[in-house]
A and B are shown apart, each in its own frame.
Chain A
Amino acid sequence: MSASLEKGINALKEQVDSTVAAFFSSCVHCGMCSDACLFYTETGSPASTPINKAEPLRRIWKSEYTLLGRVGKMFGLTAKVDDELLTNWETLVYDNCTLCGRCSMVCPMGLDIALLIRKTREGMAAAGHAPEGLIGATKRAVTIGSPMGVKLPALMAQIGHVEKDTGLKIPLDVVGAEYMLLLSSMEIMNFPEFIEATAKIFDKAGVSWTISTEAFEATNSGIQIGVADIAAELVQRIVDAAEKLQVKTVISPECGHAYMAIRWEGPNLIGKPFNFKVRHILEVLDEFRKDGRLKITGKETQRLTYHDPCQVSRRGGVIEQPRNLINMFAENFVEMPDGGKMNWCCGAGGGVSSNERADEVRLKVFQRKKDQLDEIKPDAIISACSNCRIHLEDGLEEYNMDIPLMSLTETLAEHLAD
């Protein structure tokens, strides 16, 4: 109950560094980022131009860190950051941006616009302007351990089902295991098949792995809401568990932002390097493939396409691996137009799916995905992010499209040779 404008402004001041200053001073206002953003192309609203979403941060940089801005501030000429501005920007920063980073790819001046918006969220959250849904998710993540409120008994129940169905033992808290698997609460609650699939593949591959009962949640609401302190706390939980179990590699599951949070932001958040590796599940599976540990049988004859999750492909660089894996079982694979690093966001990443206020806009901008799908007319879509998957299912239903969604890991497990 202590969020305030002062805290928000202070947080924005903290965010300004040489990178931010270089970015803002080199923006040439060309507007190319607008056409790269589905929240602009599908709504036509100029306010949704990506760089405009970082306006609160830009104003702080201008008024506090530039000579002209400071002189202007003395005469009341430099635009201020106040509660009214932050209220107006709430929906732009949280509802109309998934931090997908497509804008950063097209900026001719090389600005990482997604980073600027991510930093703007720090000020918004500290000033009490984060959306209710995300605040709730963040509270649950910190107090319960998962943004969806999934507790250990729920996981244990799902593990029980999986063990019964497969006859395999799911290793828990095994010290010295090679891999430690993280899970997103969506996988625990909506797609327990993922746990089953992973167990089967790891069993066939003959590697040692484990799930920590102390830190099994992969997602990081602190990143999405934009509070580095909370994000660091959530990362620290995983680091503690990984160090306790002395694992070599921590695996981020089929979740985009979880991967970005633990692998790319993680060490920066806690301020020291990890003493273990972090890999996305697809990277691990592709390593298995390379080592000949994956034996696949049977082919999918239907027309399959792959939806690149932004944080996995564009921001994470895991682009070749899913294609290598899909080619093991797909006879009729077709790339989405703009597939790969320039794929269009599903429209619900970066905390948008936890924010009920954004429900209308996320379904509206799904039109972009629909256009992509209409062009290739696939029989099924494969993805590697549970959040993308849930939203894609939502969108397809909204637009009366009957295309099934598949998880890459699960489909691979179905084709494991005995």
Chain B
Amino acid sequence: MTNNKDKTLGETLRSQGISRRSFLKYCAATASMMALSPAMIPKIAHALESARRPSVIWLSFQECTGCTESLTRAHTATIESLIFDAISLDYHHTLQAASGHAAEEAREAAMKENFGKYLLVVDGSIPMDNPGYSTIAGISNYDMLMESAKGAAAIIAVGTCATYGGIPHANPNPTGAVSVGDLIKDKPIINVPGCPPIPVVITGVLTHFLTFGTIPELDHIGRPKVFYGQSIHDRCYRRPFYDKGLFAETFDDEGAKKGWCLYKLGCKGPTTYNACATTKWNDGTSWPIEAGHPCLGCSEPDFWDGGGFYKSLSMPTENIAQTAVYAAAGAVAAGVALGAMNKSKKNSAAKAHNKTTIDDLEK
């Protein structure tokens, strides 16, 4: 185990039978995925090849394990998954073989050995109402997070629960769930939201960290801009139908069958920033909108409380008050009156028209 840990990533990959050619292909794909210059490809290759596998501690709190399912869901032995395997994942509830005291010892040993250098990955939110709602080995989530965060080089919050509180945080938030960012203010935090997030996004973030030793550029709510910089709507292949005003009105009408825009069925694509439309899911097979379902907006804070998944974004969520109806009627009347005045003005201008001849071109 120790022996394996000292190997560089390049050595590990080669020992697993990964050719240099496919390794470089991975580097090129990562560079283009993250919109880096092609000049960066050799740098990524060099950094990855010579990187000592960094220690990673993975904590799971109030979560459903969907994020882990997503990230480890390698269909075949993809190189992305191997990069993921090739970090030294020293503690992970679901994946580790050890249990009980041995498991906790592994975490403590990894923290001690790599103090200040390890990466801390967190999925799940932290209950602040009563610590008893979620404990591991008798340690409350809050205590475990604070203790593990102390020696971390950076923290990656994975999934909407860890990044923004997610479903546990949804109204009425019975456990007082909060996000990692709500509790930790003195460490760099990369938010990788999504319910669950896209697997390549986390491997991309890891690659970036291994290559540059820094965290990628983040948006105003801590998400890497390369993956969360554009809205689903802007990259959606159904966007031309939106632009033409062609919408599916129900899930089984002609529009739905023809693959028209799902906006009226509640699609949150216009307000959701994520990479689903470009990277897709399951090794690029498909993604929710391609499967005919509106985007739920799962990578946005409080997506669960957004007023109903099937309610269209611009539809009023409450009944319009009577006064608004009167106001609208008044505006229509004023518009008609104004239109009539404009029409008479135009008519009088036409009446005042004298046929222009070539003698009327000069003063």
Which residues of chain A have a CB within 8 Å of any CB of chain B?
1-4, 7, 10-11, 13-14, 16-17, 21, 64-65, 67, 125-126, 128, 130, 135, 138-139, 142-143, 225, 227-230
A-chain residues with CB within 8 Å of residue B361 when the two chains form the complex:
3, 125, 128, 130, 135, 138-139, 225, 227
Of B346, B353, B355, B358, the residue contacting A142 (CB under 8 A) is B358
Encode contact with A along B96-130: 1 for CB under 8 Å, 0 otherwise: 00000000000000000000000000000000000
Q: List 28 A-B contacts (CB under 8 A).
A: A1-B359, A1-B362, A2-B359, A3-B362, A3-B363, A10-B349, A11-B353, A11-B356, A13-B345, A13-B349, A14-B353, A16-B346, A17-B346, A64-B345, A65-B342, A67-B338, A125-B356, A125-B361, A128-B361, A128-B362, A130-B361, A135-B358, A135-B362, A142-B357, A225-B361, A229-B355, A229-B356, A230-B358
Pairwise interchain contact B363-A1, C-beta atoms closer than 8 A: yes
Interface hits, B317-363 → A, CB 8 Å: 338, 342, 345-346, 349-350, 352-363
Point out the residues of chain B lying under 8 angstroms from A143, CB to CB. Answer: 358
Complex Cα distance A10/B360, Å? 14
Task: Point out residues on B near A: beta carbons under 8 Å.
Answer: 338, 342, 345-346, 349-350, 352-363
Query: Which of chain A's residues have a CB closer than 8 A to the CB of B353?
Result: 10-11, 14
Contact residues in A for B346 (Cβ distance below 8 Å) = 13-14, 16-17
Given A64-B345, A65-B345, A67-B338, A14 contacting B350 (CB threshold 8 A): yes
A1-B363, A3-B363, A128-B363 known; A139-B349 Cβ under 8 A: no
Q: Which residue of B lies closest to A225 (CB)?
A: B361
Which residues on the B side are within 8 Å of A138 (C-beta)? Answer: 358, 361
The reply to whether A10 and B345 contact each other, CB–CB distance below 8 Å, is: no
Apart from the given pairs A4-B363, A7-B356, 20 other A-B contacts in the complex at a CB distance below 8 Å: A1-B363, A2-B359, A3-B360, A10-B353, A11-B353, A13-B346, A14-B346, A14-B353, A65-B342, A125-B361, A128-B361, A128-B363, A130-B361, A135-B358, A138-B361, A225-B361, A229-B355, A229-B356, A230-B356, A230-B357
**Docked CA distance A135–B361 (Å):** 7
Q: Name the B residues within 8 Å of A1 (CB-CB).
A: 359, 362-363
Instruction: Tell me the complex Cα distance, A3–B352, Å.
Output: 14
**A3 partner residues in chain B, CB cutoff 8 A:** 360-363
A76 to chain B, nearest CB (A): 20
Contact, CB under 8 Å: A126 / B360:
yes
Provide the residues of chain A in CB contact with B349, threshold 8 Å.
Answer: 10, 13-14
Nearest 7 pairs between A and B by C-beta?
A13-B349, A128-B363, A229-B356, A14-B349, A135-B361, A139-B358, A227-B356
Query: For the complex, what is the distance from the CA of A143 to the CA of B357, rounded to whole Å?
Result: 11
Determine the chain B residues whose CB is within 8 A of the CB of A139 once the complex forms: 358, 361
Give the nearest-CB partner of B347 in chain A: A14
Contact B354 A7 (CB under 8 A): yes
- Please measure, in the bound complex, the distance between the C-alpha atom of A10 and the C-alpha atom of B363, giving whole angstroms: 16
Would you call B360 and A2 a contact (CB within 8 A)? yes
Chain B residue, CB-CB nearest to A134 = B361
Chain A residue with Cβ nearest B352: A10
Closest chain B residue, CB of each to CB of A12: B349
Q: Which residue of B lies closest to A14 (CB)?
A: B349
Q: Which residues of B contact A7 (CB under 8 A)?
A: 354, 356, 360
The chain B residue sitting closest to A130, CB to CB, is B361
Q: Which residues of B contact A229 (CB under 8 A)?
A: 355-357
A88 to chain B, nearest CB (A): 16
**In the bound complex, CA of A225 to CA of B358 (Å):** 11
- Closest-CB distance, B129 to chain A (whole angstroms): 49
Closest chain A residue to B348, Cβ basis? A13
Q: What separation, in Å, do the CA atoms of A16 and B360 have in the docked complex? A: 21
| A7 and B362 alpha carbons, distance in the complex (Å) | 12
Residue of A nearest to B363 (CB): A128
B345 contacts which chain A residues (CB < 8 A)?
13, 64-65
Closest chain-B Cβ to A106's Cβ sits at a distance in Å of: 16
Q: Which residues does chain A contribute within 8 Å of B357, judged by CB atoms?
A: 142, 229-230
Contacts of A125 in B (CB 8 A): 356, 361
Bound Cα distance from A14 to B347, whole angstroms: 8
B352: chain A residues at CB < 8 Å are: 10
Residues of A contacting B358 with CB < 8 Å? 135, 138-139, 142-143, 230
**Please, how many angstroms separate the alpha-carbon atoms of A64 and B363 in the complex?**
25
CB-nearest residue of chain B relative to A125? B361
Choose one: A21, A64, A65, A126; the contact of B356 (CB below 8 Å): A126
A233 to chain B, nearest CB (A): 9
Query: How far, in angstroms, from A306 to B349 measured CA to CA in the complex?
Result: 45
Residues on the A chain within 8 Å of B338, using CB:
67
Determine the chain B residues whose CB is within 8 A of the CB of A126 once the complex forms: 356, 360
Q: Which residue of B lies closest to A21 (CB)?
A: B342
B66 vs chain A, min Cβ distance (A): 40
Contacts of B350 in A (CB 8 A): 14
Q: B333: shortest Cβ distance to chain A, in Å?
A: 13
Q: How far is the CA of A276 from the CA of B355 in the complex (A)?
A: 27
| Residues of the B chain whose Cβ atoms lie less than 8 Å from the Cβ of A2 | 359-360
User: CA A19 – CA B24 in complex, angstroms?
Assistant: 57
Residue among B338, B342, B345 with the highest chain A CB neighbour number at 10 A: B342
By a CB distance below 8 angstroms, the chain A residues around B355 are 229
A19 to chain B, nearest CB (A): 12
- Shortest beta-carbon distance, A248 to chain B, in Å? 32
CB distance from B78 to the nearest CB of A (A): 41
Minimum distance in angstroms from A72 CB to a CB of chain B: 15
The complex places the Cα of A67 from the Cα of B338 at a distance, in Å, of 8
* A142 and chain B: residue at smallest CB distance: B358
Chain B positions within 8 Å of A11 at CB level: 353, 356
Minimum C-beta distance from A151 to chain B (A): 17
Q: How far is the CA of A345 from the CA of B164 in the complex (A)?
A: 54
What's the minimum C-beta distance from A84 to chain B, rounded to whole angstroms?
14
**A228–B356 alpha-carbon span in the complex (Å):** 8
Contacts of B362 in A (CB 8 A): 1, 3, 128, 135
| Bound CA span A165–B73, Å | 82
In the docked arrangement, what's the CA distance between A4 and B360, Å? 9
Once the chains are docked, how many angstroms separate the CA of A135 from the CA of B363? 12
Complex Cα spacing A273 to B358, Å: 26
Docked complex Cα distance between A1 and B353 (Å)? 16
- Contact partners of B363 in chain A: CB under 8 A: 1, 3-4, 128
State how many angstroms separate the Cβ of A384 from the closest Cβ of chain B. Answer: 30
CA of A2 to CA of B356 in the docked complex: distance in angstroms?
9
Determine which residue in B354, B355, B363 has the highest number of CB atoms from chain A within 10 A of its CB, and name it: B363
